[in-house]
Chains A and B, each alone.
Chain A
């Protein structure tokens, strides 16, 4: 039997919408994954603590507020400190094309912008865990 894939879906930063994150969470669940959902307005410290305690293989974060260049690298940095860089980190939300290379250099494995189908995310996860 294949081990169940565990994913943390987190919403860092101050923006007050989690519709997108919830859509992703449901899609991953329907694909047979265990999705730990932590709700809105998470600090990087909270996200990393949850990722480590929950022993997830994947961390999906979505940001709409524009703070991604600050918050995403902060999370990957903290993961490194906790010896948890093996967790696959994915970013989503409103992210300009130009920012993507910077994020990838900082440990975000893939960035999914609006319009990406949840199928693509599922496929990416299955191929990369």
Chain B
């Protein structure tokens, strides 16, 4: 399909589903038209509440997102969902299965769900996730939920995108809370214990609260909530809590501060990406990479000298 950025932009702003989904595809594929579109789109963004949903694999992130979306729809709000699943580093393929848990809302015209593969990006998100969120923001979603891949400890990129991060944990994780606390636990604005129909809720609840009480006291103490995503129990309370936090962050200026910080990070990322592409292109164009490899293996040169050589050709 031949398409220019003006048509995409108009499509997104006029809530055309087909063109909006096409816009996200072009963004994912790093199509030059999409960059032109994103530039124009930017001033139409900033209205959505962007909420990150993260946590270990199988903790119920998709089910919870589905129910959160429903709760938001009950209030007459529109919802965008970006659900990220891992891409195989070997084949580049992916099975994106989060929609399985989002069946009822899938035909609601007030909900736009998009699945993304990480496409080589570490950190629990795809490189284009922020841009996809921007598209949905400009499209007019009141809430945008970002479901990250099931995380271990280092996938904390969601904090660079979302206004608010919710960590989903489940009872019976035992010492796991210990093992994931390193990175993930530090980025939560809300902690949700899901699968509260299971055993071990109180233990996890106590552990979590104890851990959070030890956090930096200058920060807002995150609430610990309980849900059963499967039945929807506790979910509208969770959305209320998120709204309350949102309101407080806005009043205190913390939201604007966080968004500014995230914009700076985004610029850094864009610069890095442009720079890496440029350098790799120059490196390839030297036609010397095989020679360099030969020299290095004979110890006539070393990786640092080679890198400097290539940089000097820029």
Contact = CB atoms under 8 A, between A and B. Distances in A.
A32 B115 contact: no
B141 to A, nearest CB: 12
A6 B25 contact: yes
Chain B interface SS verdict (over half): mixed
A17 to B, nearest CB: 15
A128 to B, nearest CB: 16
Contacts of B96: 34-37
Interface of B: 1, 17-18, 21-22, 24-25, 28-29, 87-88, 91-97, 99-100, 103, 106-107, 112-115, 117, 119
Contacts of B100: 37-39
8 contacts: A29-B91, A29-B93, A37-B95, A37-B96, A38-B106, A49-B107, A55-B22, A84-B18
B18 A52 contact: yes
B21 A52 contact: yes
Nearest to B83: A36
Nearest to A41: B103
A61 interface: no
A31 interface: yes
Given A6-B25, A37-B99, A46-B107, A54 B117 contact: no
Interface in A19-44: 25-26, 28-39, 42-43
The size class of the interface chain A forms with chain B is 20 to 34
Contacts of A39: 97, 99-100, 103
Contacts of B92: 4, 32
Looking at B1, B22, B115, the one whose CB has the most chain A CB atoms below 10 A away is: B115
A30 B93 contact: yes
A50 B97 CA distance: 12
A67 to B, nearest CB: 19
Contacts of A32: 91-93
A38 B92 CA distance: 20
Contacts of A52: 17-18, 21
A45 B109 CA distance: 11
A39 B100 CA distance: 5
A82 interface: yes
A31 B114 contact: no
Interface in A82-121: 82-84, 86
A3 interface: yes
B90 to A, nearest CB: 9
A54 B91 contact: no
A38 B25 contact: no
A54 B96 CA distance: 11
B106 A31 contact: no
A72 to B, nearest CB: 19
